[in-house]
C-alpha cells in the first residue's frame, strides 16, 4: 500500500512515516521545511527517514506545482502539515494559508487518486477550546487562530466525507511529547535548560494547567490502528491521547528528578488562547480501534531525555 504523509519531516509526522514504512507500507513524505523552527532539525529527521526507504519531497502544499511532482496512486493520505501551535510570531495569514488553503489544495489532489481508500486529517485538541475534556460530539469552541484554522481544515475534510466525495476522517491529538519534539515546546525546551543550566520561561499560571501529556509512540500506535481499520472511520472524528492527567508543574518536577537537578524558572506573561485543561476522552478510540495508550509520563520523558542527550550534547 502506498501512503502520502504531509509534514513528514516534523515531530509526529516523522515518527508516523517511520512506523508505517517499518510495517510494510511504501511511504512518500512531503514537507516544506519552513523556518518556523531550526530547519536543520527537520532535515535530520528527513535523513533518518530516507535511510529507512521513505521518499521525502521538499515541497509546499500551497504551490500547485507540488502536485504535478506527485504520483496519483496513493491508497492513503495522512495530513499533518500545518502552521503549528499558539505563537505571537505567527500571523493569521500564515495560519490561514498553511492550515486551510493548503488542506483544500491537498483535497483537490486527493480526488485524482483513484485508488485512494481514506484521507486522514490530523486535528488537535485545540479545536475544543480552552478546555478539552469532551467526547467528539461536543461543539468546538476554539480560542486561538491555530484552533480556528485547524477546525476549518477539519471541516473541509469531513465535508468531503459527508457528501461522498472521499472516504475521510479526522484524528484529534492531545498534548504530544517525546523524541523529536519541536524546540519551542515544553519538554524539549525544559530538558535543554536543565542540561545547559539556563533559565526556563514559564507562562504565568501555566504550572497549574492540566494536560493529557501523550507519548508520541502511543499517538503513532493510534494512527497505525486507524489506518488498519479505515473502513470503520468514514466521516468520523476520533480523539487520540492518554486519559492520565498531569499538571505542568508535575511534568517539570519529573524532568528535574530524572536529570537530578533543579531548573531555574522565570515567570513570563500569560499566553492568550492557551488551554487550561486537556483530558482525552478516548472511549470512541477504544471501541473502534482497540486503542490503549500505555506509556507513563516518567517513562516517556526518560526516552525524550535520552534522545536529547544523543542529539544535542
| Architecture of the domain made up of 2-174+216-240 | 3-Layer(aba) Sandwich (3.40)
Separation of alpha carbons 53 and 21, rounded Å: 7
Length of the chain: 313
CA-to-CA dists, residue 282 to 12, 96, 109, 171, 240, angstroms: 19, 29, 31, 11, 6
In whole numbers, what is the pLDDT of the chain averaged over residues? 96
CA separation for the pair 89, 36 (Å, rounded): 9
d(CA 292, CA 82): 27
Q: Is the pLDDT of residue 86 over 90?
A: no
Cα–Cα distance, 150 to 302 (Å, whole number): 31
CA pair distance 204, 267, nearest whole angstrom: 5
Answer yes or no: are the C-beta atoms of 265 and 198 closer than 8 Å.
no
Nearest-CA neighbor of 61 among 86, 97, 85? 97
Per the annotation, the verdict on 128 as an active-site residue is no
Name which of 311, 243, 283, 256 is nearest 44 in CA terms.
311
Q: Give the mean pLDDT of 99-114.
A: 98
Nearest CA to 200 out of 155, 145, 262 is that of 262
**Res 128: pLDDT:** 97
What is the pLDDT, as a whole number, of residue 90?
Answer: 87
Stretch 103-130: mean pLDDT, rounded? 97
**Cβ neighbours of 16 (radius 10 Å):** 27
Cell of 70: 506527485
Average pLDDT over residues 154-170: 98
**DSSP H stretches of helix in the chain:** 11-22, 39-51, 65-68, 92-95, 102-110, 145-162, 186-196, 216-228, 248-259, 283-289, 297-312
- Is the full-model pTM beyond 0.85? yes
Runs of H (alpha helix) within 96-172: 102-110, 145-162
pLDDT-based confidence at 235, cuts 50/70/90? very high
Query: Vertex 45, ends 99 and 185: CA angle to 5°?
Result: 60
pLDDT at 271 over 90: no
Residue 261: exposure state from Cβ atoms within 10 A (0-12, 13-18, ≥19): exposed
Burial category of 257 from C-beta neighbours within 10 Å (exposed 0-12, middle 13-18, buried 19 and up): exposed
Dihedral-angle region of residue 269 (phi above 0 means left; psi in -120 to 50 means alpha; beta otherwise): beta
Given a cut of 80, is residue 66 above it in pLDDT? yes
Q: Is the pLDDT of residue 88 over 80?
A: no
CATH tag for 177-211+244-280+294-312 (out of 2.30.30.280, 3.40.5.10, 3.90.25.10, 2.60.40.10): 3.90.25.10
The residue behind cell 504531509 is 6
Q: Domain segments of the chain: what residues?
A: 2-174+216-240, 177-211+244-280+294-312
Phi, psi dihedrals of residue 28, rounded to the nearest 5°: -115, 130
What is the end-to-end Cα distance of the chain in Å, rounded? 39
CB atoms within 10 A of CB 96: 16
Identify which of 221, 98, 236, 117 has the alpha carbon closest to the alpha carbon of residue 170: 236
Band (pLDDT 50/70/90 cuts) for residue 139 is: very high
Given the residues 146, 174, 215, 308, the one annotated as active site: 146
Percent of the chain having pLDDT more than 90?
Answer: 93
Amino acid at each position: 500500500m502506498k501512503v502520502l504523509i504531509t509534514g513528514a519531516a516534523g515531530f509526529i509526522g516523522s515518527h508516523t512515516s517511520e512506523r508505517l514504512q517499518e510495517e510494510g507500507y511504501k511511504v512518500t513524505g512531503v514537507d516544506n521545511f519552513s523556518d518556523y523552527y531550526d530547519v536543520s532539525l527537520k532535515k535530520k529527521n528527513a535523513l533518518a527517514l530516507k535511510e529507512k526507504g521513505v521518499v521525502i519531497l521538499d515541497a509546499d502544499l500551497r504551490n500547485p506545482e507540488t502536485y504535478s511532482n506527485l504520483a496519483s496512486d496513493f491508497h492513503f493520505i495522512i495530513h499533518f502539515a500545518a502552521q503549528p501551535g499558539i505563537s505571537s510570531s505567527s500571523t493569521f495569514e500564515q495560519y490561514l494559508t498553511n492550515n486551510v488553503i493548503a488542506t483544500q489544495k491537498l483535497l483537490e489532489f486527493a480526488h485524482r487518486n483513484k485508488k485512494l481508500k481514506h484521507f486522514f486529517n490530523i486535528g488537535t485538541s485545540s479545536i475544543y477550546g480552552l478546555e478539552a475534556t469532551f467526547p467528539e460530539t461536543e461543539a468546538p469552541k476554539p480560542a486561538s487562530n491555530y484552533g480556528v484554522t485547524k477546525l476549518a481544515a477539519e471541516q473541509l475534510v469531513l465535508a468531503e466525507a459527508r457528501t461522498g466525495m472521499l472516504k475521510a476522517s479526522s484524528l484529534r491529538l492531545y498534548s504530544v511529547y517525546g523524541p523529536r519534539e519541536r524546540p519551542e515546546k515544553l519538554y524539549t525546551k525544559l530538558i535543554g535548560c536543565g542540561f545547559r543550566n539556563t533559565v526556563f520561561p514559564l507562562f504565568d499560571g501555566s504550572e497549574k494547567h492540566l494536560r493529557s501529556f501523550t507519548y508520541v509512540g502511543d499517538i503513532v500506535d493510534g494512527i497505525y490502528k486507524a489506518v488498519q481499520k479505515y473502513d470503520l472511520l468514514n466521516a468520523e472524528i476520533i480523539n487520540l491521547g492518554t486519559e492520565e492527567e498531569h499538571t505542568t508543574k508535575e511534568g517539570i518536577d519529573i524532568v528535574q528528578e530524572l536529570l537530578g537537578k533543579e531548573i531555574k524558572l522565570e515567570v513570563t506573561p500569560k499566553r492568550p488562547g492557551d488551554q487550561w485543561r486537556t483530558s482525552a476522552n478516548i472511549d470512541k478510540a477504544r471501541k473502534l480501534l482497540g486503542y490503549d495508550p500505555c506509556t507513563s509520563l516518567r517513562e516517556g520523558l526518560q526516552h525524550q531525555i535520552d534522545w536529547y542527550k544523543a542529539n544535542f550534547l
